[in-house]
Chain A
């Protein structure tokens, strides 16, 4: 399987990423040798091997349910480019 600019366009759609035509071409070209390099992992015998998702054998971590001060609404909205009446403002959704 290889990357074409159509394939890149499809992946960009799933990634919520707008790309220029030039970028689509470029990424298609760049990702092919990269994928070829990654392909080597398919040759490794992993029969009877469990995936290692996480290094630590941690399970649930509990902490006391204590109220700790947190930044207020105004503070949390400070980094947004547009807000309205104490909310984040976005274009029409429906």
Chain B
């Protein structure tokens, strides 16, 4: 089998057994990208030359890390030393960081080989990757549809076998929603589980780095590498990191799974509900106990989320002024004009919209009415989850209300576009870990199931997700791209 088709675990074994060399793997991946990325458009930047050099060096090393010779790619909001990091924004089109984000460094130190940087909605604001300032990414299952977003490039690249795994960020669903649309595994760890140092902030109290992979086992392997406290990220948690692979294959008999009725309301397509029901039956067969639960405040999560996220984004993005990096209009006569012109030129419509809205929210007249109120609702949402988790190990819901939508169909309907996140946003509001795994197909398009865990219980999520995966074959199905 061609190397590009393999999973991370299979590649690790092939390298260890000397059946494949790092150079063979890298060539296979680059060949695949050359063949299919013209249609998928997952990559903003490719680092083929340095990848080839690194592979050559890795081939000569006898000792190396867990990921020796394994290619990976990063969402383009994760800083990479000497490699352009654009956040898919005109503002940062030629920004070249002089340091690696902590997670990028960890993969590098483990022997992984960076293949390139992946497309996204500009500055991670969006749910379709159509809002990239450069070009949209196309869903490998149907090239007329979106891959989801904001990590659409990452999910599409993994689904199309362009890369064995990728790291991305999830602020309101940006890993899980594209994972659902592209039929891959997307894990968002607990807030604080993985360092955010060197990752371009969208909403600092909600952002988290996670993994997109071909299966649950690979997600566990990568979590082992990226999780843990970082002295450079004061919000990273000082808690021991378990071996996530030890949860693979453990029995789920007696596990209590709550199913929140608010996540199955009228906006969720009946075909999607049916797929989740089927999956829950599978869990029952495997010995889990399924019961309906209630998360009453989750219906306000989306409105409260966009209030908080816009407010945080508007302050975070004040740094994009074009002076130290980014677009700079050299004709400005005074410094205020320079700032306003640069931001006007460099930022796209969605970023401007949210900046304006965030500024509105944080205005002295509105701060209490909206921002403080949203933070209180966030407390209520978190308390709802806490209450359920007193009696349950996990919560299961659909990841998205529908399968992937057509390109261009929602781009002018903001509220529709935002509502794609309605089942994922509550989890970020409560800071919880969650995974999306493929649980079926509707008219040839994949759909994901979301498994939500207690804070820092990524292990239980991995355990349950793996059990499902071992008893189904959705994750092994591949889109037909018309090339071999």
Interface residues of A (CB under 8 A from B): 3, 8, 11-12, 14-19, 23, 26-27, 30-31, 33-35, 37-42, 44, 46, 49-56, 58, 61, 63, 71, 75-76, 78-82, 88, 90-93
- Cross-chain contact A52 with B325 (CB below 8 angstroms): no
What would 24 A/B residue contacts be, using CB atoms closer than 8 Å? Answer: A11-B359, A16-B321, A19-B344, A37-B306, A37-B415, A38-B307, A38-B370, A40-B303, A41-B377, A44-B300, A49-B376, A49-B379, A50-B376, A55-B205, A56-B431, A58-B237, A76-B98, A79-B96, A79-B325, A80-B323, A80-B328, A81-B330, A88-B324, A92-B335
Which residues does chain B contribute within 8 Å of A26, judged by CB atoms?
349
Pairwise interchain contact B300-A53, C-beta atoms closer than 8 A: no
Q: For A3, list chain B residues within 8 Å (CB).
A: 360
The reply on B134 being an interface residue by CB < 8 A is no
* Chain B residues with a Cβ closer than 8 Å to the other chain, count: 71
From B191, B302, B336, B345, contact of A55 by CB (8 A): B191
User: 10 closest Cβ contacts across the A-B interface?
Assistant: A55-B431, A18-B344, A51-B375, A79-B325, A81-B328, A46-B376, A52-B379, A63-B231, A18-B340, A61-B234
How far, in angstroms, from A41 to B372 measured CA to CA in the complex?
11
The proximity string for B residues 286-329 relative to A, scoring 1 for CB distances below 8 Å and 0 otherwise, is 00000000000100101110110000001000100111111110
Given A15-B355, A31-B356, A49-B376, 8 other A-B residues pairs in contact with their CB atoms under 8 A: A15-B314, A16-B339, A30-B353, A35-B357, A38-B370, A52-B379, A80-B324, A81-B327
A81 and B322 within 8 A (CB) = yes
Inter-subunit contact B372/A51 (CB<8 Å): yes
Complex: chain B residue closest to A50, CB-CB: B379
> Which of B297, B333, B347 is A44 in contact with, Cβ under 8 Å?
B297
Chain B residues closer than 8 Å to A34, beta-carbon distance: 306, 357, 414-415
In the complex, what distance in Å separates the CA atom of A33 from the CA atom of B244?
44
Contacts of B345 in A (CB 8 A): 18
B54 within 8 A of A: no
Q: Evaluate contact between A91 and B337: CB separation under 8 angstroms.
A: yes
Which applies to chain B's interface (DSSP): helix, strand, loop or mixed? helix
CB distance from A10 to the nearest CB of B (A): 9
Q: Decide if A42 touches B314 in the complex (CB within 8 Å).
A: no
Contact with A along B393-432 (1 / 0, CB 8 A): 0000000000000000000001100000000000000110
Residues of A within 8 A of B28 (CB): none
Within the complex, which residue of A17, A55, A61, A71 is in contact with B344, where a contact is CB–CB below 8 Å?
A17
What is the bound-complex CA distance between A73 and B369, given in angstroms? 45
Chain A residues with CB under 8 A of B379: 49-52
Would A38 and B414 count as touching, CB distance under 8 A?
Answer: no
Instruction: Looking at the assembled complex, report how far the CB atom of A74 sits from the nearest CB atom of chain B, in whole angstroms.
Output: 10
Min C-beta distance of B433 to chain A, whole Å: 11
Q: Are A18 and B414 neighbours in the complex by a CB distance under 8 Å?
A: no
Task: Check if B352 is an interface residue, CB within 8 A of chain A.
Answer: yes
